[in-house]
């Protein structure tokens, strides 16, 4: 194929590549899948029967485990998925047997300003349209199961409000006495719909529900999405779903999905979602796609199931963590690796000249608007100043005991002098470094990166967690704030202080993990603080509990669980060719 990413949109490249897409049976054979383990779901898409495959592979030897993270991105992103796809293709070019593992994109970004998450140029996964538009229905299952729990809760509140205890007893219902001001979850929708953040439900008569304040959250922030990401079996999934705390009673008692007797039905809706999805890169390498939680408001990882399967099927399993090392890698390191029992052999930090210039004082970068010429013209002074952000992320990864590999995700507007400057700084910090042109050249452009990753995987490392689970919650937050974000301290709101004290007093909660909620646009809580800011205090305004997923969630700064839609959203460009049925305009 003679494809030029400088002259073609990503969807046009994907459409051309899909003419030569490999049959899923062939991809399954690459993975060593046996009869009945591959579940075809259409041209170029399949699921893997997790239970059958795991029973065969659970004692198999494991390959090398590589995580891809990044520096603090511009609002346009820094190409982590593109780099993940490029690294997988590059490893294939040098004769290895690689597998990628990424998250499924949410319809929120896909139809908004960020676009899909398939990668880009000659380093993307295909088929693009199914991947971007729901794939095999996992997100629909999560959204429906989440909303079923809200249906069960609000119906129960209505019935308890309308019926006396004797009537409830006759129909076999025990009064839960839900406190309408302590409902912990909202309705779910997989779009960026800011007008649904805060709503009033139940208006009308007594047969129209229980009137109260409510709202929506984006589906990827649902605890069910986190549970899909961390569960290791159907039994584990079922148990975790039953532990979800949806509300509290007026006496302060937890009200769970098991109390509402809806946990079994929720699991039934998600029974197929536990099987990871399988697609391929443009060059025919296998890619697992499973789960899709955001990293700024959730755990930000593809599933444990995808990783523990994939690492037993290939030489190298390249997984991806959302956003930058302060968020995605920190959660990979201290949450996901605890759940999976896996330890990384190498960690790739993706950096771009564009983002480093932004951190060096470059003009504002806004999606949908042309880049300022400062980002396409050489400016070594601005670039060197911005490398403070790269240094901070190198040091974050080094704290885990793993030596990082800096990947300069090359743009065709970059200069050799700019790349040489970043290489020098990365190596001074004790990191390997490679320039990769996977976007422009595919696997051939990622050979240097692949070779550096292979070399890094052969080095001994001292991977260990940042904190132990017996460390008090407030001390954990302080440790993350000071050692990872670079804060001087932590400030707790009264509400957050009260909640964390209650959670600390609960022996079932005390040793759970910690999943921070924070902006991805800065090492700090403030998206306007660029570079590597110092002398600031991290404000914790709230603390959530995800008892089914198994972690406490401190919320830093002003961040929403339902993003908004921008003024120039992606859905304006998406259409369908009515003669061929091909989707156009995805990016």
Active site residues: 80, 82, 103, 114, 295, 323, 411, 439
The count of other CB atoms within 10 Å of the CB of residue 585 is 15
Q: CB atoms < 10 A from the CB of 136, how many? A: 22
Find residue 556's DSSP bridge partners: 540
What is d(CA 398, CA 262) in angstroms, rounded to the nearest whole number? 44
Q: Determine the Cα–Cα distance for residues 236 and 232; give it in Å rounded to an integer.
A: 6
Taking the C-alpha atoms of residue 310 and residue 102, their distance in angstroms, rounded to an integer, is: 11
d(CA 188, CA 145): 9
User: What is the rounded CA–CA span in Å between residue 344 and residue 206?
Assistant: 56
| Angstrom distances, CA of residue 492 to CA of 497, 501, 580 | 6, 11, 57
Report phi then psi at 98, rounded to 5: -95, 155
Nearest-10 Cα torsion for 562, 329, 484, 564: -10
CA 432 to chain centre: 25
Structure tokens at 505: 């007093």
C-alpha span between 250 and 211 (Å, rounded): 17
Do 135 and 289 contact (CB within 8 A), yes or no?
A: yes
For the CA atoms of 364, 370, 376, 379, the dihedral, rounded to the nearest 10 degrees, stands at -20
């Amino acid at each position: 194929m003679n494809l030029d990413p400088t002259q073609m949109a990503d969807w046009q490249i994907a459409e051309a590549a899909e003419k030569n897409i490999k049959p899923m049976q062939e991809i399954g054979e690459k993975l060593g899948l046996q009869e009945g383990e591959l579940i075809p779901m259409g041209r170029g898409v399949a699921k893997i029967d997790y239970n059958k495959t795991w029973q065969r592979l659970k004692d198999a030897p494991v390959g090398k485990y590589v995580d891809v993270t990044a520096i603090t991105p511009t609002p346009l992103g820094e190409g982590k998925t593109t780099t993940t796809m490029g690294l997988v293709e590059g490893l294939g070019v040098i004769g290895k047997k690689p597998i990628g593992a990424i998250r499924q994109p949410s319809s929120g970004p896909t139809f908004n300003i960020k676009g899909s998450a398939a990668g880009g140029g000659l380093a993307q996964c295909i088929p693009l349209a199914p991947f971007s538009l729901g794939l095999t229905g996992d997100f629909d299952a999560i959204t429906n199961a989440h909303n079923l729990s809200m249906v069960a809760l609000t119906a129960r509140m209505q019935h308890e409000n309308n019926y006396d205890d004797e009537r409830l007893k006759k129909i076999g219902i025990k009064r839960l006495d839900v406190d309408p001001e302590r409902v912990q979850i909202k309705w779910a929708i997989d779009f960026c719909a800011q007008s649904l953040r805060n709503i009033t439900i139940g208006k009308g008569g007594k047969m129209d529900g229980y009137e109260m304040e409510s709202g929506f959250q984006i589906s990827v922030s649902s605890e069910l999405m986190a549970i899909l990401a961390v569960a290791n079996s159907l039994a584990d999934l079922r148990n975790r779903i039953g532990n979800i705390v949806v509300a509290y009673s007026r006496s302060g008692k937890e009200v769970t999905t098991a109390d509402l007797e809806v946990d079994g039905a929720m699991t039934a809706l998600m029974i197929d979602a536990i099987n990871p999805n399988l697609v391929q890169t443009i060059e025919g390498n296998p890619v697992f796609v499973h789960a899709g939680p955001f990293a700024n408001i959730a755990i930000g990882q593809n599933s444990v199931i995808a990783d523990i399967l994939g690492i037993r099927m290939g030489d190298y399993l390249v997984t991806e963590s959302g956003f930058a090392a302060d968020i995605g890698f920190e959660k990979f390191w201290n949450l996901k690796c605890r759940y999976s029992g896996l330890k990384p052999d190498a960690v790739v930090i993706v950096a771009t000249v564009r983002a480093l210039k932004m951190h060096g004082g470059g003009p504002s970068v806004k999606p949908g608007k042309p880049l300022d010429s400062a980002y396409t013209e050489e400016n070594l002074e601005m670039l060197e100043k911005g490398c403070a952000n790269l240094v901070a992320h190198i040091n974050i990864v080094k704290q885990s005991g793993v030596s990082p590999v800096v990947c300069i995700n090359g743009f065709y507007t970059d200069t050799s002098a700019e790349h040489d400057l970043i290489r020098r700084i990365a190596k001074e910090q004790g990191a390997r470094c490679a320039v990769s042109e996977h976007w422009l050249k595919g696997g051939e452009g990622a050979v240097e990166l692949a070779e550096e990753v292979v070399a890094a995987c052969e080095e001994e490392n001292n991977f260990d967690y940042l904190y132990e689970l017996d460390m008090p919650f407030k001390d954990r937050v302080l440790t993350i704030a000071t050692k990872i974000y670079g804060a001087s301290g932590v400030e707790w709101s009264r509400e957050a202080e009260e909640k964390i004290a209650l959670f600390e007093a609960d022996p079932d909660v005390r040793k759970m993990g910690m999943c921070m909620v924070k902006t991805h646009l800065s090492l700090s809580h403030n998206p306007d603080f660029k570079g590597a800011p110092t002398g600031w205090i991290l404000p914790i305004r709230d603390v959530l509990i995800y008892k089914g997923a198994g972690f406490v969630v401190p919320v830093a700064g002003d961040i929403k669980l339902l993003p908004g839609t921008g003024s120039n959203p992606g859905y304006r460009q998406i259409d369908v060719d009515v003669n061929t049925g091909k989707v156009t305009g995805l990016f």
